[in-house]
């Protein structure tokens, strides 16, 4: 009995930890019996017990398959990072309507053309580790793109990094010391809090209204806070609100940064997904205090994601000998080729109207099925929509109910320091199809049941 009990516990834990996933066939009775030195009959009894628990299903003459939904395999760690990782896993599992993350639709990628470029690069001689600042062709292409917006820049003004987060880490490392303060928008991308904690920096969130933006008086007061070194912001289609700085706000904030000698760290990962005719102008076009942190992952997908830092005023502060984590040379050459041959812009021309239409459809659907008192912010770029529900709605509770209904959403609390309860939520329109209409209708019913 001891052997059976031990094996049951071990297999149950393995299933709950996700070693096998829904729909996957379990190892045969003989395989498990041999591996654990028990009889085939014992394994059959264990599998039968797991069937009774709802973890497995017996198929006639075909063994046993896993039935445990992937939401049951989530880590028990309740930390923000664990919750974000779990949300991403659910989003890509195929078992949920994916509305939670800010991922873009991989199905729209020109994969065959990417494969052809990859084949060509693979056949070329390996240049080795390359330059400390990253592939020069890639940096030249980035400089050309930003120069076309009016910036004065060249290849040597860019450093290739492991994603936009790598660029932000590098910039903050150059301008801060442990204990310094960094201002950031609130709500904001939750990963920013993790980055600041990693560098032992103090976040000072400044409220950001999805329509009005910053309260400039509060921002000016925060700039005067002792030890404040930088403002980390996303001025174009901000995550999660979709807010776009007005020209007046842009001018005022740049002047405040100059007045207080504050570095502007521009998170520039959504600008290429503008729904308007023109790409928003980078802050560095008109500010000598601005640096730019960007990534190709929002356009080309995570498999072809590289980050970059436009160093601007930090050029002399970044030690050229310091270790910089960056993607492999092959990926850098891939992205450089995609930019050089025009495929990047062709892909943008293809996906921008699609995402604009999907965002419009999500907004229209939300206006139909969500409470009339809701405020639904339709962004001018990106793929996500910020929705403020009636004040009494706790969207963390709503997210739990939606999860049980097979719908993945991002509650507003994720985007606030200490996960402050919120009546807002963020929905992603990138994968929008007919099933999403039913999902929004279900959300409306769940909200109507909350008091």
Digitized pLDDT (tens) for each residue of the chain, 451 residues in all: 447 788 888 898 888 877 887 778 889 888 898 888 888 888 888 888 887 777 887 776 667 878 765 443 333 334 677 777 778 787 777 888 999 989 899 999 999 999 999 999 989 887 765 678 899 999 999 999 999 999 999 999 999 998 898 899 999 999 999 999 999 999 999 989 988 988 899 999 999 999 999 999 999 999 988 899 999 999 999 999 999 999 999 999 999 999 999 999 999 999 999 999 999 999 999 999 999 999 999 999 888 889 999 999 888 888 654 557 778 889 999 999 999 999 999 999 999 999 999 999 999 999 999 999 999 999 999 999 999 999 999 999 999 999 999 999 999 999 999 888 899 999 999 999 999 999 999 999 999 998 6
pLDDT in tens, 79-138: 677 777 778 787 777 888 999 989 899 999 999 999 999 999 989 887 765 678 899 999
Q: Which long-range contacts (CB under 8 A, 24 or more apart) does 114-117 make?
A: 114/304, 114/334, 114/338, 117/334, 117/337, 117/338, 117/341, 117/343
Domains (range + CATH), the chain: 2-67 (1.10.10.10), 72-107+346-448 (3.90.1150.10), 129-341 (3.40.640.10)
Sign of CA dihedral 164, 319, 133, 329: negative
Residue written as token pair 């599992």: 93
Residue 79: the pLDDT is: 66
Is 139 in contact with 311 (CB distance < 8 Å)?
Answer: no
As a whole number of angstroms, the distance between CA 225 and CA 218 comes to 11
Is 332 in contact with 160 (CB distance < 8 Å)?
Answer: yes
Residue written as token pair 């521009």: 266
Report CA-CA distances (Å) from 323 to 173, 252, 272, 304: 12, 36, 29, 22
pTM above 0.95, yes or no: no
């Amino acid at each position: 009995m001891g052997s059976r009990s031990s094996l049951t516990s071990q297999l149950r834990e393995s299933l709950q930890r996700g070693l096998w996933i829904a729909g996957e066939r379990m190892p045969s009775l003989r395989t498990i019996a041999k591996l654990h030195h028990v009889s085939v009959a014992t394994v059959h009894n264990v599998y039968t017990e797991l069937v009774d628990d709802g973890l497995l299903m017996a198929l006639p003459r075909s063994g046993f398959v896993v039935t445990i939904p992937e939401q049951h395999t989530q880590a028990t760690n309740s930390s923000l990072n664990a919750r974000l990782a779990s949300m991403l896993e659910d989003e890509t599992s195929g078992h949920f309507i994916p509305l939670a993350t800010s991922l873009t639709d991989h199905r729209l990628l020109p994969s065959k053309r990417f494969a052809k470029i990859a084949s060509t690069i693979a056949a070329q001689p390996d240049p080795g580790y390359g330059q400390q600042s990253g592939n020069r062709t890639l940096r030249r292409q980035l400089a050309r793109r930003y120069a076309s917006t009016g910036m004065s820049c060249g290849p040597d003004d860019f450093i290739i990094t492991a994603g936009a987060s790598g660029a932000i880490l590098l910039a903050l490392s150059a301008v801060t010391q442990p204990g310094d303060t960094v201002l950031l928008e609130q709500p904001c991308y939750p990963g920013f809090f993790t980055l600041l904690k990693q560098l032992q920096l103090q976040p000072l969130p400044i409220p950001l209204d999805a329509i009005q933006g910053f309260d400039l008086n509060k921002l000016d007061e925060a700039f005067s806070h002792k030890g404040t070194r930088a403002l980390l912001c996303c001025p174009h289609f901000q995550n999660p609100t979709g807010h776009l700085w007005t020209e007046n706000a842009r001018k005022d904030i740049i002047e405040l940064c100059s007045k207080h000698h504050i570095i502007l760290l521009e998170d520039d990962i959504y600008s290429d997904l503008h729904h308007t005719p023109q790409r928003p102008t980078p802050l560095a076009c008109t500010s000598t205090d601005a640096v730019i942190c960007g990534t190709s992952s929002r356009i080309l997908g995570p498999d072809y994601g590289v980050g970059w830092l436009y160093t601007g005023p930090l050029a002399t502060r970044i030690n050229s000998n310091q270790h910089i984590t960056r993607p492999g040379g092959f990926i850098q050459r891939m992205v450089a080729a995609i930019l050089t041959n025009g495929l990047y812009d062709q892909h943008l021309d293809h996906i921008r109207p699609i995402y604009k239409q999907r965002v419009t459809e999500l907004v229209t659907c939300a206006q139909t099925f969500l409470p009339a008192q809701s405020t639904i912010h339709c962004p001018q770029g990106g793929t996500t929509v910020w929705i403020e529900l009636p004040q009494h709605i706790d969207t963390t509770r709503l997210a739990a109910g939606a999860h049980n209904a097979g719908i993945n959403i991002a509650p507003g609390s994720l985007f606030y320091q200490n996960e402050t309860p919120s009546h807002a939520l963020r929905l992603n329109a990138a994968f929008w199809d007919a099933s999403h209409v039913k999902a929004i209708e279900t959300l409306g019913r769940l909200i109507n049941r909350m008091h």
